[in-house]
Amino acid sequence: MSPSDDSPTPDSAERFTSTEWYYARYRPRYGTDAIEYLVDRFGVDETSRVLDLGCGAGQIAIPLAEHAGEVVGMDPNEAMLREAREQAVAAGCENVEWVQGSDADLPADIGTVRLTTMGRSFHWMDQPRTLDHLFELTEPGGGVALVTDGEWLTHGVDDDWQAGVHALAGEYLDDLPERTGPIEEYDDPWDDLLAEHGFTDVETETVAYERKWDEDGVVGYVFSLSFCSPARFGDRKDAFEADLREYLQGLDGETFVQHGEVEVISGRR
């Protein structure tokens, strides 16, 4: 599977510029079930080094650090890494090294790792090249895991509140990606891609979830997306936020429910 997160921009370090504060606070983590699945599958323990490539604000790196000896969180956006460091301090997490860099910088003297995780970040990478480098970095028996969940603004289920948020954003942004609903099939399935680049015992694990969003969460999530970044709204950002809050307050109830799945595609070296 190869999810579409946000519309591309030219430079990976700039793609999420102005989203960082929102990304750290309003992008959800992937849940304990997905993390525990990875820990069990790859035997992650206090002797293990883990790489979270394209780590964002630490949504995978920080919970994995509770199980690993050392985690390297790598991202090209220094402002995002500053947010990640703050999140790690708040969580009492002291065993993560935050490194500025991207897949283009691999192997980057990372050293051998037990496990590499990538969230939606894999969508942006030179995928074949990245997997070839990671195969060489992975210790025998370790592996690579691609962890994704639902991007509800453009790929959510047909919930009226989500479609309404998308429609409102489209009144402000000319280049807003189309709302397609869930995507079931892709031209380059990630499980096949892992196998093509040497990884074995490839499997897909899915964990269903129900998330409840409040008004602040919906607003913050929208601004965490690169195609809806505050910078893209420019001087219309405050007007959009006011209209969005008015729209949400006009709906029946204060909690907005999202149904989806966390998908973990992983392979072993």
- Please write the tens of the pLDDT for every residue from 223-265: 999 999 999 999 999 999 999 999 999 997 667 999 889 999 9
Return d(Cα 38, Cα 64) in angstroms, integer: 9
Q: Give a yes or no: residue 60 inside a domain.
A: yes
Mean pLDDT of 29-45: 97
Q: What is the pLDDT of residue 187?
A: 52
- Domain extent, residue 244, equals 20-268
Q: Give a yes or no: residue 6 inside a domain.
A: no
pLDDT band at 13 (very low <50, low <70, confident <90, very high): low
Return d(Cα 264, Cα 229) in angstroms, integer: 27
Q: Give a yes or no: residue 1 inside a domain.
A: no
Instruction: Note if the pTM is more than 0.75.
Output: yes
Q: Give a yes or no: residue 12 inside a domain.
A: no
Mean pLDDT of the chain: 92
Q: pLDDT per residue over 53-91, tens digit each?
A: 999 999 999 999 999 999 999 999 999 999 999 999 999
Q: How many domains does the structure of the chain reveal? A: 1
Instruction: Give the CATH number, domain containing residue 100.
Output: 3.40.50.150
Strand order from edge to edge, sheet including 200-213 = 96-100, 70-75, 49-53, 113-118, 138-148, 256-268, 200-213
More confident residue, 135 or 108: 135
Mean pLDDT of 151-159: 86
In Å, what is the CA distance from 150 to each residue of 23, 30, 155, 256, 258? Answer: 15, 10, 7, 15, 9
